[in-house]
Structure 1
Amino acid sequence: MQELNFPRFTFRFKNSENKTAIFDEIRKKFVVLTPEEWVRQHTVKFLMEFKKASKSFLNVEKSIAQNGLTKRYDIVVFQQDGGIKLLVECKAPEVKITQAVFDQIARYNLELRADYLMVTNGLQHYFCQMDFEQQTYVFLTDLPELNG
């Protein structure tokens, strides 16, 4: 897999039916290793090891209902009160981070109301803090510690 703009992390892999799978610590199972999954797993490790997100407050690839449609978010970090601290959208490295990607995560966040947003393709990372009063977001150079 492609080298990403993250620190080096250790992962567990297995091969079955001519496909490589990577172990997801959050879902507690092996999942097929796609370019997007490679980014997702790096992001999970980054959030736990560098942003102090507690594993028990992380959620990966869950469905949400939005305007009668079922959508899936990539990663969420919950707060102790059940609110959402961070919503992450992961893309494969070859996918450019465009306004359409920000629009996608912003639509998800209308429902989820996370304090922070992260968009990454593994090569570029963007962080935002929400301002719900002004119905906008402010770009940050980094995320604060998340402290689950």
Structure 2
Amino acid sequence: MIKIEYPSYQPKIKGESNKEFIFDEVRKQWLILTPEEWVRQNFLQYLMQVMQYPASLIAVEREIKLGELKKRFDIVVFDKDSKPWMIVECKEMNVALDTVVLNQVLRYNQVLQVPFLVITNGSNTVAYSTANNELTALLELPDF
């Protein structure tokens, strides 16, 4: 497990039609505030503020095709050449980071072919290197 020290972050939250919304600074839009969205927004802040990953190279919840299936990844960080570099799969806090979650991000990687995979539920975070077609657990997230 990687210890994540989340930065101080005051998200923009509003209530509308008996629902809470949070503003996503990457996508520049208001989203329904679900437990998974809370994890995703806080992890995005960690990537941008603490790890200094450029917001301009981060994509959030975009569709990819897995064979005939259409899936949506949570976060992909691109390198300076605009190639996918890291996939982050976010789950709500009460979801265990088990083989089901790992297999989900591995399926996305069949399409994206990134060197780094991350799974997080906000409380726990696990990262892997995919070098040489082997998964190697990392002790910390890679520097950008």
Using the size of structure 1 for normalisation, the TM-score is 0.91
Q: CA deviation at 1:136?
A: 2.0
Equivalent pair of 2:7/2:45 in contact (CA under 8 Å): no
Q: CA deviation at 1:8?
A: 3.2
Secondary structure (helix, strand or coil) at the match of 2:97 reads coil
Equivalent pair of 2:88/2:119 in contact (CA under 8 Å): yes
Residue identity in the other structure for 1:130: T
Equivalent residue number for residue 111 of structure 1: 111
Does 1:137 pair with 2:128?
A: no
Using the size of structure 2 for normalisation, the TM-score is 0.93
Equivalent pair of 1:5/1:124 in contact (CA under 8 Å): no
> What percent of counterpart residues are identical?
37
Give me the whole-angstrom Cα distance separating, in 1, the residues matched to 2:46 and 2:76. Answer: 13
Give me the whole-angstrom Cα distance separating, in 2, the residues matched to 1:111 and 1:50. Answer: 28
Unmatched tracts of structure 1, length 5 or more: none
Give me the whole-angstrom Cα distance separating, in 2, the residues matched to 1:8 and 1:115. Answer: 29
Give me the whole-angstrom Cα distance separating, in 1, the residues matched to 2:96 and 2:5. Answer: 14
Query: Alignment RMSD, CA only?
Result: 1.3
> More strand per residue: 1 or 2?
1
Equivalent residue number for residue 94 of structure 1: 94
- 1:38-71 superposed Cα distances (whole Å, 9 cap, x missing partner): 0000110000011111010010000000111000
Equivalent pair of 2:7/2:50 in contact (CA under 8 Å): no
Secondary structure (helix, strand or coil) at the match of 2:56 reads helix
Residue pairs, 1:1-148, within 5 angstroms: 6-131=6-131, 133=132, 135-146=133-144
